[in-house]
Amino acid sequence: MQKLYDHLCRYSAADWIRTVDTLAVNIDPIDREATRIWFAFYPLPLQLALDAAADKPATERKFGLMGQWGLANTIDSSHRFVYAHRYWPEVKAAIAAIEQAPSELGALITQVADAACRPARVERAVVLGMAAIGLMTLRQVGPQAFAAAPGKVHLSDALRAKSREQILKTRAKDDWQGLFGALRGAKKLWTVRFDENEPDAEFIAIQSQDLASAAQSDKREYRSKDARCIPNEGPIPVECRAASCGTCWVGVIGGAEKLSPVEKHEATRMKVFGYAELSEGTRPVIRLACQAKAYGAVSIVIPPWNGIISRV
C-alpha cells in the first residue's frame, strides 16, 4: 500500500476538491452531500499543516482547534454518517488490493468503486463517494495505520436495516402539524435529527428558531461524548451564538432548503473560519447552527472539532 500512498501524495488539496466536485454528479444522491460534508470535516491542508509543524501544540493553538480533529483514531468511524459506510469493508479491501494506480485521481477513485461494488452487490454510484473518502483517509493517516484499522462498520441495527429510499424519505419528510397546521404559523414545530444512526438523536425547533437555540431544549448529557458541549445546552457545541467563534458549524445532510438562507454576516464569518469552500450559495451544506433558522425538518451532522482553518 506504500506505493499507492506515495501516488496519492502527488495530489494537492485543490486536486481532491476539484475531483470530488467533478465526480459528485455520479455519486448516488443519498451520499452526494454527505461526501462533500466529510471532505469539509477532514480537510487535507489542516492535516498537512499539523504533520509539518515543529511545535504541534502551538500550531493547534494557532488554529484555535477544539475537540477531536484528524482521522488517526477514527479511520473506521469518521464516515458513519455516510450511507455507504456500511460497505466500508469492501471499499477498504478494494483500496488495499490496488497494484497499479491510474495517473488521474478521478479514474483511481472510480477504479476503487468498481472493485468494491461487486462484492458489495450495489451499483458503483452507491460506493463512489465512499471510495473517495477511503483514499483520502489513506492519504491522511498513512499506509501502516490504514492497514492496521480493522475495517469495522459502526452502524446501529436500526439504520443498517433501512434502505436508501427509506432514509431519503425520512430526510424529506416534514412533521405533521395537525389538521389546522397551516394556521399554526410561528408555532410550527420541526424535528432536527443530528445523528441518523441513533433513533433518539433529535430535538425540536420552533418555526424560525436557529438550530443552536433549539438544541438547548435538549437537556440530555452530551459532555461525556464531546467535551465541547455545554452542560444542559444540547448536543451542538456553542460559545458566542453570534457567528463570532465558529464552534457551532454543522453539515446539513438533508433539508438544506428548509433552513433560512445564508445572510451576509454568516457568509463573511464562514470565510474567516475557513469553512467557506462548501458554504457558498444561499443554502449550502455547511452552516453555522446559531445562524441557520428552521422552516422544516432537517438532518444535520455535528463535526467533532472546530477551529479557524483559514489560518492554515
Contacts to ligand FES by CB under 6 A: 212, 238-241, 243-248, 288, 290
- C-beta closer to ligand FES: residue 226 or 239: 239
- C-beta closer to ligand FES: residue 23 or 270: 270
- C-beta closer to ligand FES: residue 189 or 240: 240
Q: Which three cell numbers stand for residue 309?
A: 482553518
Alpha-carbon gap, residue 136 to 130, rounded angstroms: 10
Q: CB of residue 226 vs ligand FES: minimum separation in angstroms?
A: 14
DSSP 280-301: -SSS-SEEETTTPBBSS-EEEE
Q: CB of residue 291 vs ligand FES: minimum separation in angstroms?
A: 7
- C-beta closer to ligand FES: residue 174 or 239: 239
Q: Which three cell numbers stand for residue 119?
A: 462484492
Q: CB of residue 221 vs ligand FES: minimum separation in angstroms?
A: 20
Q: CB of residue 310 vs ligand FES: minimum separation in angstroms?
A: 14
Alpha-carbon gap, residue 80 to 90, rounded angstroms: 15
Amino acid (1-letter code) at residue 44: L
Alpha-carbon gap, residue 294 to 162, rounded angstroms: 26
Q: CB of residue 240 vs ligand FES: minimum separation in angstroms?
A: 4
Q: CB of residue 276 vs ligand FES: minimum separation in angstroms?
A: 14
- C-beta closer to ligand FES: residue 78 or 247: 247
Q: CB of residue 265 vs ligand FES: minimum separation in angstroms?
A: 10
Q: How far is CA 209 from the centre of its chain?
A: 23
Q: CB of residue 229 vs ligand FES: minimum separation in angstroms?
A: 12
- C-beta closer to ligand FES: residue 152 or 265: 265
- C-beta closer to ligand FES: residue 60 or 239: 239
The b/e string for 244-255 (b: 16+ C-beta within 10 A; e otherwise) is ebbbbbbbbbbb
- C-beta closer to ligand FES: residue 238 or 294: 238
Q: Which three cell numbers stand for residue 215?
A: 438544541
Alpha-carbon gap, residue 233 to 220, rounded angstroms: 8
Among 305, 245, 302, smallest CA distance to 272 is for: 245
Alpha-carbon gap, residue 124 to 27, rounded angstroms: 8
List, in order, residues 6 or more apart from 78 with CB less than 8 Å away.
Answer: 38, 41, 42, 71, 137
Alpha-carbon gap, residue 259 to 247, rounded angstroms: 19
